[in-house]
């Protein structure tokens, strides 16, 4: 009998549990350690922050679903992983042992790295549904007393898509309320150019996003390092290509939402050979930690090197489909180990993204997500907004049903030639050309 444990019940951890179940033998046990029983669909947070969704619309209670599927759900959280002892210390002081562990803890939000950043300071966040709910209250105050808005992502951030989404969603809502004329808007980003997205762009994201910002009278500052935030004022240094400060800005604001940098969560941060200096879990091509081979990691908690040097640090985003490919590979690899075989599934890390702008949007397809790529495509249109709404409904439905990839989703992805697992040829196949 094997004990398989997943830490985290967000996007990656919940799907991980659903995909691991068919891999288990009759007596194996699957445990998910979460912080509470409620899953919320993070990509809808920007809509919560302008009132287009209530938090209850995007939340699912996992207790019954996990029970129905025979998964043991422990809700006290993991305090510390002890990989040398195959043991996890839980939030209430008790412990649980594992044979195989999947870390799926997402990010810790590093607001403390910049004075005044975050909901405890003077800027809003959309990273968590709680933050999005506070951001909605702050938005109503802005609507009552309009003034300048600053939106963006700080140095070391890796999640740029939601910053652009929120910028354009807020702009759409301000236009609908006929307040846009009273709200000057500035986008502040550590990216070296608009549309870089931590990925050196995808297709023409630079052109598409710049033109959208020009059309909507939104100013921007790239290569930006936020020095500090005080009530109603953000101090920003703009860097030149050669890494020197090119210009200093003092930006007044009535409302600001800035994406923070991420780091690994406390339960794994600082464990030698398991995590990197930022606390992200080190994995090989099978999503497996090289030093502790019974530990895997999926989602935002995984360590990925930046795509290249930039004047201001910029991280690589871990997007939904890319995460799903990590999950599928990990489930297959743990399944192989349980059957006494070597793990050989490799995730593609392909990315399909829909960035909603409220009344239009940008879609991109990056295969693989890290350049150079076999497919590098982006497009703009009203259809993206409707596709994102449809995807939200579809995704929440499959989470409620306890499914990861229904057959019709697999069929569509096959038709579009978008794979989650790399085709790996054995030495014999390479030798014989089969
Ligand atoms: C605002 C926003 C919008 C996004 N929109 C998109 C999008 O449209 N498309 C896209 O492809 N990607 C999007 N992403 C990126 C990505 O898909 C999401 O961040 C996704 O939620 C990441 O999944 P995850 O499982 O790694 O982390 P999370 O979903 O954050 O889940 C991590 C879970 O682990 C739990 N946890 C943490 N520490 C512990 C512990 N010690 N013990 C137990 N549990 C713990 C947390 O409570 C949380 O539930 C978005 C990201 C953000 C922030």
From the list 72, 127, 159, 301, the catalytic residue is 159
- Rounded CA Rg of the chain: 22
Nearest CA to ligand 1 atom 15: 319
Mutating to test ligand 1, I would choose from 14, 42, 88 the residue with most ligand atoms within 8 A of its C-beta, which is 42
Q: Rounded to an integer, what distance in angstroms lies between the CA atom of residue 150 and that of residue 220?
A: 9
Q: Please give the distance, rounded to the nearest whole angstrom, from the Cα atom of residue 10 to the centre of ligand 1.
A: 6
* Cβ atoms within 10 Å, residue 361: 25
Nearest CA to ligand 1 atom 1: 127
Q: How many helices (H) and strands (E) does the chain have?
A: 10, 22
The β-bridge relationship of strands 3-7 and 100-103 is parallel
Whether 299 lines ligand 1, by a CB cut-off of 6 Å, is yes
Helix (H) or strand (E) holding 247: strand 245-252
| 159 counts as catalytic | yes
Is residue 426's pLDDT more than 90? no
Q: Please give the distance, rounded to the nearest whole angstrom, from the Cα atom of residue 112 to the centre of ligand 1.
A: 19
Q: Give the ligand 1 atom nearest the CA of 356.
A: 8
Do the beta carbons of residue 39 and residue 14 sit within 8 Å?
yes
Whether 297 lines ligand 1, by a CB cut-off of 6 Å, is no
Q: How confident is the model at residue 427 (pLDDT cuts 50, 70, 90)?
A: low
Q: Give the ligand 1 atom nearest the CA of 320.
A: 11
- Token pair listed for 419: 């794979």
Nearest CA to ligand 1 atom 20: 11
Q: Please give the distance, rounded to the nearest whole angstrom, from the Cα atom of residue 370 to the centre of ligand 1.
A: 20
What percent of the chain is modeled with pLDDT above 90? 90
Q: Please give the distance, rounded to the nearest whole angstrom, from the Cα atom of residue 176 to the centre of ligand 1.
A: 30
Q: Which of 257, 303, 299 is nearest to 282 (CA)?
A: 303
Q: Rounded to an integer, what distance in angstroms lies between the CA atom of residue 199 and that of residue 371?
A: 7
**Placement of tokens 């990590």 in the chain:** 326
The pTM of this model reads 0.96
Question: What pLDDT score does 18 carry?
Answer: 97
What are the pLDDT digits (tens) for 72-93?
999 999 999 999 999 999 999 9
Q: Please give the distance, rounded to the nearest whole angstrom, from the Cα atom of residue 108 to the centre of ligand 1.
A: 10
Mutating to test ligand 1, I would choose from 6, 7, 8 the residue with most ligand atoms within 8 A of its C-beta, which is 8
- The predicted model gives 311-330 an average pLDDT of 96
Strand order in the sheet with 255-259: 218-221, 185-189, 149-153, 255-259
Q: Compute φ and ψ for 218, nearest 5 degrees.
A: -110, 125
What are the pLDDT digits (tens) for 4-58?
999 999 999 999 999 999 999 999 999 999 999 999 999 999 999 999 999 999 9
Q: Give the ligand 1 atom nearest the CA of 267.
A: 41
- Token pair listed for 422: 């790399």
Q: Rounded to an integer, what distance in angstroms lies between the CA atom of residue 30 and that of residue 16?
A: 10
Is residue 430's pLDDT more than 60? no
Whether 334 lines ligand 1, by a CB cut-off of 6 Å, is no
Whether 127 lines ligand 1, by a CB cut-off of 6 Å, is yes
Nearest CA to ligand 1 atom 4: 43
Whether 325 lines ligand 1, by a CB cut-off of 6 Å, is no
Q: How confident is the model at residue 278 (pLDDT cuts 50, 70, 90)?
A: very high
Q: Please give the distance, rounded to the nearest whole angstrom, from the Cα atom of residue 220 to the centre of ligand 1.
A: 27
Helix (H) or strand (E) holding 137: helix 129-144
DSSP assignment of 51-100 equals TSS-GGGGEEEHHHHHHHTT-EEE-B-EEEEETTTTEEEETTS-EEE-SE
- The predicted model gives 243-247 an average pLDDT of 95
* Cβ atoms within 10 Å, residue 29: 15
**β partners of residue 95:** 89
- The predicted model gives 313-322 an average pLDDT of 95
What are the pLDDT digits (tens) for 124-179?
999 999 999 999 999 999 999 999 999 999 999 999 999 999 999 999 999 999 99
Nearest CA to ligand 1 atom 48: 10
Is residue 418's pLDDT more than 90? no
Q: Please give the distance, rounded to the nearest whole angstrom, from the Cα atom of residue 106 to the centre of ligand 1.
A: 5
Whether 37 lines ligand 1, by a CB cut-off of 6 Å, is no
Q: Rounded to an integer, what distance in angstroms lies between the CA atom of residue 257 and that of residue 125?
A: 5
Biggest CA–CA distance in the chain, Å, is 72
Q: Which of 186, 204, 206 is nearest to 194 (CA)?
A: 206
Q: Please give the distance, rounded to the nearest whole angstrom, from the Cα atom of residue 123 to the centre of ligand 1.
A: 20
């Amino acid at each position: 009998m094997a004990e398989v444990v997943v830490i985290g019940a967000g996007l990656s951890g919940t799907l991980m549990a659903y995909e691991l179940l068919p891999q288990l033998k009759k007596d194996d046990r699957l445990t998910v350690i979460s912080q509470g029983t409620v899953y919320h669909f993070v990509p809808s947070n920007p809509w919560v922050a302008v009132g287009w969704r209530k938090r209850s619309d995007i939340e699912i209670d996992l207790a019954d679903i996990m029970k129905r599927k025979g998964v043991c759900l422990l809700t006290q959280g993991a305090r510390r992983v002890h990989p040398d002892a195959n043991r996890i210390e839980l939030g209430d002081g008790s412990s649980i042992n594992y044979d195989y562990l999947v870390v799926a803890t997402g990010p810790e939000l590093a607001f403390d790295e910049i004075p005044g950043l975050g909901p405890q300071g003077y800027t809003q966040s959309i990273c968590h549904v709680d933050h999005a709910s506070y951001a909605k209250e702050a938005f109503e105050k802005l609507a009552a007393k309009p003034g300048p808005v600053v939106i963006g992502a700080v140095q070391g951030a890796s999640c740029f898509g939601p910053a652009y989404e929120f910028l354009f969603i807020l702009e759409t809502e301000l236009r609908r309320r006929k307040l846009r004329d009273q709200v000057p808007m500035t986008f502040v980003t550590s990216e070296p150019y608009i549309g870089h997205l931590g990925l050196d762009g995808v297709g023409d994201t630079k052109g598409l996003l710049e033109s959208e910002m020009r059309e909507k009278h939104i100013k921007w500052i790239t290569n930006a390092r936020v020095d500090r935030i005080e009530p109603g004022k953000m101090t920003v240094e703009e860097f030149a290509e050669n890494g020197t400060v090119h210009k200093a800005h003092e930006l007044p604001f009535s409302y600001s939402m800035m994406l923070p940098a991420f780091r690994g969560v406390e339960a794994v941060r600082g464990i030698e050979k398991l995590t990197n200096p930022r606390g992200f879990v080190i994995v090989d091509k099978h999503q497996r930690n090289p030093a502790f081979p019974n530990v895997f990691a999926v989602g935002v908690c995984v360590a990925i090197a930046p795509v290249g040097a930039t004047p201001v640090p910029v991280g690589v985003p871990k997007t939904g489909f890319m995460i799903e490919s990590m999950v599928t590979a990990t489930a297959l690899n743990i399944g192989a180990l349980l059957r006494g075989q070597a793990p050989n599934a490799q995730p593609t890390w392909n990315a399909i993204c829909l960035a909603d702008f409220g009344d239009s949007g940008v879609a991109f397809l990056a295969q693989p997500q890290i350049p150079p790529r076999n497919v590098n495509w982006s497009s703009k249109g009203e259809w993206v907004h409707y596709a994102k709404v449809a995807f939200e409904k579809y995704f929440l439905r499959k989470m409620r049903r306890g499914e990861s990839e229904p057959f019709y989703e697999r069929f569509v992805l096959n038709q579009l030639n978008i794979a989650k697992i790399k085709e790996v040829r054995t030495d014999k196949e390479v030798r014989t050309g089969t």
